[in-house]
Structure 1
Amino acid sequence: MPSDGTGKAGLFVSLEGIDGSGKSTQARRLAEALRAQGRDPVLTREPGGAPGAEDIRRLLVEGDPDRWSPETEILLFTAARRDHLERTIRPALAAGRDVITDRFADSTRVYQGATRGDLRGLVDDVHALVIGIEPDLTLILDMDPEAALTRGLARRSGEDRFEEFGLPFQHKLRDGFRALAEKAPDRCVLIDAGRDADAIAADIAAAVAKHLV
């Protein structure tokens, strides 16, 4: 957590979870809460968060579900993440600003590494070589896959390629994220996202408060 010299250290927070679990809403609320405390967070997302990464995003989230193989997706996501890291995340942290990202490497570990084949080793190897950092805190929003899928498809955002893999895929994703939380308890906090937004935001604020300097 680099400091800007004022005594405030930048905190790197990621929000993870299945499609439709409310990550974007809660990431925005967290950023607003930190601003109310006098901090200056950067709110960003993946894939995306930088110009080149946003171009790659359109390749990944639009189109037919079978557009890419899992191996190709791993490389595309990592390319977008590298651009995001270079142009957005590292400069913000170096300036002592908090970074809140809607998804980071854990999504690739679960979506491509665990649910569409046994590719976790490849994901981890590429991540170590090209990215090399983890968030200080990862908030995993956990909720019923059927309810989340209904919510996600109702958005009709045009970015529903992964939702179109269907409910069994969403169940696999949930299992993958829950397993990740168990394996990395020092970094990951499981949040019950099946409640009203205020209750979820309160739990997130409490988890983040423990890491603020």
Structure 2
Amino acid sequence: MADPHHQGKFITLEGGEGAGKSTQVRAIAERLAARGIETLTTREPGGSAKAEELREVILSGFAKQFSPIGEAMLFSAARIDHLDQTIRPALARGVWVVCDRFMDSTQAYQGALGNIDPRLIKALERVAVGPTRPDLTLILDLPAEIGLARAAARRKKGAAADRFEGEDLEFHQALRKSFLEIAAAELERCAVIDAAQDVDQVSAQIWDEIRRRLLKESV
């Protein structure tokens, strides 16, 4: 049960295509629920009514015409509504929030895609995110070739790749490098998880990080 007298914890999962973030979001929620911790799972882009509408625009590829900067601004607009309508109210009630992608995806994707000045990305982050930064960010890392193969395998037969899955291998390799750079720059917040492992091994490694960093348990 949520404790309204204590702020909830905010966990985000990041990584390239096919890294298994959605699967691990569900696994984290189940483990927390088993501890009696109320948890909300959500995603970006999306997570609130207006943000879900913007998700359709972004992932359809329609927003590509606005350039990487334009896309980054659309992501930020969606994030503002997501935070205001979903994330911050839950945290204030003492609920733990587990989010599939957040601010680091904007830095990694738009940075890798369009070489946007990092100062601009950080400025958008300050406006959109403010003080509501993740307590823990789990970066699921694996070679881009493996991730793209997984993403292709999970799509329904005949379905087209979305806006970002359709980018070339060089882009996805740059994306992986960007996520690892983010992790190296913020060691206290970020943990890199080897997503090439078996799903259960990935889950176990993630849970060890949560126990050690947020539940303050010895592992």
Which category of TM-score, normalised to the shorter sequence, fits these structures? over 0.9
Match of 1:44 in 2: 42
SS of structure 1 residue aligned to 2:192: strand
Match of 2:174 in 1: 172
Q: Mapping of 1:104-115 within 5 angstroms?
A: 104-115=102-113
Change in 2 beyond 3 A, CA 1:65/1:74: closer
Aligned mate of 2:118, from 117, 120, 123:
120
The structure where helix makes up a greater share of residues is 2
Q: 2:191 is aligned with what amino acid?
A: V
Distance of 1:60 and 1:99 partners within structure 2: 23
Match of 1:4 in 2: 4
CA drift of 1:74 comes to 0.8
Deviation track 1:5-60 (CA, whole Å, cap 9, x = no partner) reads 2xx64110000000110011101110111111111100000000001000000011
Cα RMSD, aligned residues only: 1.8
Contact residue 181 and residue 188 of structure 1 kept, 8 A? yes
Distance of 1:164 and 1:142 partners within structure 2: 19
| 1:212 aligns to 2:215 (yes or no) | yes
SS of structure 1 residue aligned to 2:111: coil
Change in 2 beyond 3 A, CA 1:52/1:65: closer
CA drift of 1:208 comes to 0.8
SS of structure 2 residue aligned to 1:212: coil
Match of 1:95 in 2: 93
TM-score, length of structure 1 as denominator length = 0.93
SS of structure 2 residue aligned to 1:164: coil
Distance of 2:189 and 2:104 partners within structure 1: 11
Number of matched residues? 210
TM-score, length of structure 2 as denominator length = 0.90
Deviation track 1:61-86 (CA, whole Å, cap 9, x = no partner) reads 11369444101111100000001000
Change in 2 beyond 3 A, CA 1:34/1:41: same
Match of 1:17 in 2: 15
Distance of 2:118 and 2:152 partners within structure 1: 27
Q: 1:173 is aligned with what amino acid?
A: L
Distance of 2:125 and 2:95 partners within structure 1: 24
Structure 1: runs of 5 or more not aligned: none
Distance of 1:105 and 1:9 partners within structure 2: 20
Distance of 2:41 and 2:95 partners within structure 1: 10
State the identity as a percent.
Answer: 44
Superposition misfits of 4+ residues, deviation over 4 angstroms: none
SS of structure 1 residue aligned to 2:137: strand
Distance of 2:83 and 2:191 partners within structure 1: 23
Q: 2:14 is aligned with what amino acid?
A: E
Distance of 1:174 and 1:52 partners within structure 2: 29
CA drift of 1:100 comes to 0.2
Match of 1:148 in 2: 147
CA drift of 1:152 comes to 0.9
Q: 1:186 is aligned with what amino acid?
A: E
CA drift of 1:155 comes to 2.5
Match of 1:72 in 2: 70
Contact residue 140 and residue 188 of structure 1 kept, 8 A? yes
